[in-house]
Homo-oligomer: A and B are copies of this chain.
Amino acid sequence: MEEIETLWKEVRELSLGDSDRVDHLECPPTPLQFLRDFVCQNKPCIISNATLHWPALSSWTHDSYLTGALSSADVSLHLTPHGQADALVPLDGSLCFSSAHVQRMPFPEALNLITNNESPSKLVAYAQQQNNCFLSEYSALAADCDPHIPWASEALGCLPDAVNMWIGNHLSTTSFHKDHYENLYAVVTGQKHFLLLPPTDVHRMYIRMYPAAQYSYSHDTGEFKLELEKPDRYVPWCSVDPYPSPEDRDKQLSNFPLYFDGPKPFRCTLNPGDILYL
């Protein structure tokens, strides 16, 4: 066991160095530098001052601009009681992999639900749809951003497969997951906090099979119902909650020691104008 822990440590250091920070560039790299220093090495980096020329960085700070531009657009809104979609939540004494209640509605109504998260209704709304939604549901905003990130497109030798849009509030949380794509994540307004672990740390995630469940929300009662999918479907998902509630904390720490006793994940915060490559 000691040998394998040394191996984990060495593999981690080899792939990411011994820093606990994500590399940070103050301006966009050349395509060659981006490919050589980050893409080829599967190494994340933050690129600041990457999108300051996008009109979106100023215009999207005004809700009235967004509701005007998207006044007649229907968008997909994901509704959950606590802001955790695609995450493990308790159901009948054990954990299930829950998916949000998804509802298409006019954008102004969706934005109202996202921003009015102070209301007594137990509801967190998150606008997302990972099917190239920026160019479909949000096409009225397309001209506010560059159609692609030129230095990344040249480095990767292709245009984006998909451009997605996420609009959430401070309660919107995405649980640990992996993506099968090269991702460039640009923050336009607000902030986004990331916790990153390298692929070589997969053994610290305690990936287990969880039954899939689905939220449904009743606008009449303002209540969520969470039900297992029929027929049964099982989803492999990370068991670790990196920010457990006070009552879950001891259980998480004792159940998942490889995560909690091991090296800290890479933490970073993106601000408007920043892009995270990961």
Could you say which residues of chain B place their CB within 8 Å of the CB of A81?
A: none
B residues within 8 A CB of A35?
32, 35-36, 40
Segment of A138-146, A150-158, A189-197 in the binding face: A150-158
User: What count of chain A residues pass the 8 Å CB interface test?
Assistant: 11
- Kindly state whether residue A39 has any CB partner on chain B within 8 Å: yes
Residue of B nearest to A30 (CB): B32
A-side binding surface: helix, strand, loop or mixed?
helix
Whether, in the assembled complex, A31 has its beta carbon less than 8 Å from a beta carbon of chain B, the answer is yes
User: Does A37 sit within 8 A of B, measured CB to CB?
Assistant: yes
Contacts of A22-77 to chain B: CB distance below 8 A = 31-32, 35-37, 39-40
Q: Which residue of chain B is the closest to A37 with respect to CB atoms?
A: B157
List of B residues within 8 angstroms of A40 by Cβ = 35, 39-40
- Chain B residues, Cβ within 8 Å of A155: 32, 36
CA distance A86 to B51 in the complex (A): 55
Which residues of B sit under 8 angstroms from A31, Cβ to Cβ?
32
Give chain B residues whose Cβ lies under 8 Å from the Cβ of A37. 157
The 7 A-B pairs at the shortest CB distance, nearest first, are namely A40-B40, A32-B32, A36-B157, A35-B35, A31-B32, A35-B36, A32-B35
What residues of chain A have their CB less than 8 Å away from a CB belonging to chain B?
A: 31-32, 35-37, 39-40, 154-157
